[in-house]
Amino acid sequence: MAALLLAPLPFLAHAQPAPAPEQAAPAPSSASASASSAAQQFTLANGLTLIVLPDRRAPTALQMLWVRAGSMDEVDGQSGLAHVVEHMLFKGTPTVPEGEISRLVAAMGGRDNAFVSRDVTSFHQQIPAARLPDVMRLEADRFAHNTWPDEAFWREMQVIKEERRQMVEESAQARMFEVFMASAWLAHPYRRPIVGWMSDLLSLQPADARAFYQRWYVPGNAALVVVGDVEVAQVRAWAERYFGALPARAVPERKPQTEPEQRGTRRIEYLGRTDRPLLVMGYQVPQLAHPDATDTASTDALALLLLAGVLDGHSASRLERQLVQGAVGRRVAQEVSASFGYLGRGPQLFLLSGTPAPGVSPAELEAALVAEIARVAREGVSEAELRRVRNQWLAAEVFQRDSLFAQARLLGSYWAQGWPVDSSERLMRRLSAVTPQQVQAVAARHFSPQRLTVGLLLPEQAP
Mean pLDDT of residues grouped by 10 in the chain (463 residues)? 38 48 32 55 98 96 98 97 98 95 96 97 98 98 96 98 97 97 97 98 98 98 98 98 97 92 97 95 96 96 97 89 88 96 93 96 97 98 95 88 94 97 95 97 97 96 64
Give the residue numbers marked as catalytic: 86
Give the pLDDT score at 329.
Answer: 81
Q: What is the pTM of this model?
A: 0.90
Q: Domain segments of the chain: what residues?
A: 11-242, 266-459
Q: Angle, to 10 degrees, between the axis of helix 296-312 and the axis of helix 423-433? A: 80
Give the pLDDT score at 206.
Answer: 98
The answer to whether residues 80 and 74 touch, using CB atoms and an 8 Å cutoff, is: yes
Give the pLDDT score at 29.
Answer: 30
Q: What is the 3-state secondary structure (H, E, C) of 295-315?
A: CHHHHHHHHHHHHHHHHHCCC
CA separation for the pair 43, 35 (Å, rounded): 13
SS3 content of the chain, % helix, strand, coil (to 5): 45, 20, 40
Give the pLDDT score at 175.
Answer: 97
CB-based burial, 112-134: b 16+ in 10 Å, e otherwise? bbbbbbbbbbbbbbbbbbebbbb
Give the pLDDT score at 252.
Answer: 94
Tell me which architecture the domain covering 11-242 has in CATH.
2-Layer Sandwich (3.30)
To which CATH superfamily is domain 266-459 assigned?
Metalloenzyme, LuxS/M16 peptidase-like (3.30.830.10)
CA separation for the pair 183, 180 (Å, rounded): 5
CA dihedral 379, 321, 266, 186 (to 10 degrees): 100
The two domains 11-242 and 266-459 share their CATH topology (first three levels equal): yes
Q: Going along 139-277, which residue ranges are E strands? A: 222-228, 266-272
Give the pLDDT score at 25.
Answer: 32
CA separation for the pair 343, 353 (Å, rounded): 20
CA separation for the pair 15, 166 (Å, rounded): 13
Q: Going along 39-147, which residue ranges are E strands? A: 40-43, 49-54, 60-67, 111-117, 121-128
